[in-house]
A and B are shown apart, each in its own frame.
Chain A
Amino acid sequence: MDKKIYIEPIFKKNPVTVLVLGICSSLAVTVKLEPAVVMAISVTIVTGFSSFIISIIRNTIPNRIRIIVQLVVVAMLVILVDQILQAYTYDVSKQLSVFVGLIITNCIIMGRIEAYALGNKPLPSLVDGLANGAGYGLILIVIAFVRELFGSGTLYGFKIIPDAWYIKNGGFYENNGLFILPPMALILVGLIIWVQRSISKDLIEKN
Chain B
Amino acid sequence: MDTNKNLYTIVYSTIIVVIVAAALAYASEYLKPMQERNKEIEKKQSILKSVNLGLEAATATDKSTYIESEYSKYIKDTTIQNGDKTLDMYICTLDSKDKVFIVPVHGVGLWGPIWGYVAFKSDLNTIYGATFDHKGETPGLGSDINTPWFGGQFKDKQIFKDGQFVSVKVVKGGADKSNPNEVDAISGGTITSKGLEKMLIDSFGEYLDYFKSQLSKAVTTPSDSLTIQADSLAKAPVDSVKQTIKK
Q: Which positions in A face B, CB cutoff 8 Å?
A: 29, 31-32, 35, 60-65, 68-69, 72-73, 75-76, 79-80, 83-84, 86-88, 90, 95, 97-98, 151-152, 177, 180-181
Q: Within 8 Å of chain A (Cβ to Cβ): is B188? A: yes
Which of B28-36, B116-124, B163-171, B206-214 lies at the interface with chain A? B28-36
Q: Main SS of the interface on chain B?
A: helix
Q: Are A80 and B24 in contact (CB under 8 A)?
A: yes
- With known contacts A61-B3, A65-B9, A180-B188, A32–B35 Cβ distance under 8 A: no
B140 and A152 contacting across the interface, CB-CB below 8 Å: yes
Q: In the complex, what's the smallest C-beta–C-beta distance from A65 to chain B, in angstroms?
A: 6
List B contacts of A79 (CB < 8 A): 24, 27
Q: A76-B20, A80-B24 are in contact. Are A87 and B141 (CB under 8 A)?
A: no
Q: How large is the interface on B (under 10, 10 to 19, 20 to 34, 35 or more residues)?
A: 20 to 34
Our pick among A64, A87, A95, A98 for the contact of B34 (Cβ within 8 Å) is A87
Which chain A residues lie closer than 8 Å to B17 at the CB level?
72
Assuming A83-B31, A86-B38, A97-B136, is B20 touching A180 (CB within 8 A)?
no
Give the Cβ gap from A180 to chain B, nearest Cβ, in Å.
4
When the two chains form their complex, are residues A63 and B4 in contact, meaning their CB atoms are under 8 A apart? yes
Does the CB pair A65–B13 fall under 8 Å?
A: yes
Residue pairs across A and B with Cβ atoms less than 8 A apart, 22 shown, are A29-B139, A31-B140, A35-B139, A61-B3, A62-B8, A62-B12, A65-B9, A69-B12, A72-B17, A73-B20, A75-B20, A83-B27, A83-B28, A86-B31, A86-B38, A87-B31, A90-B35, A95-B139, A95-B143, A97-B135, A151-B140, A152-B140
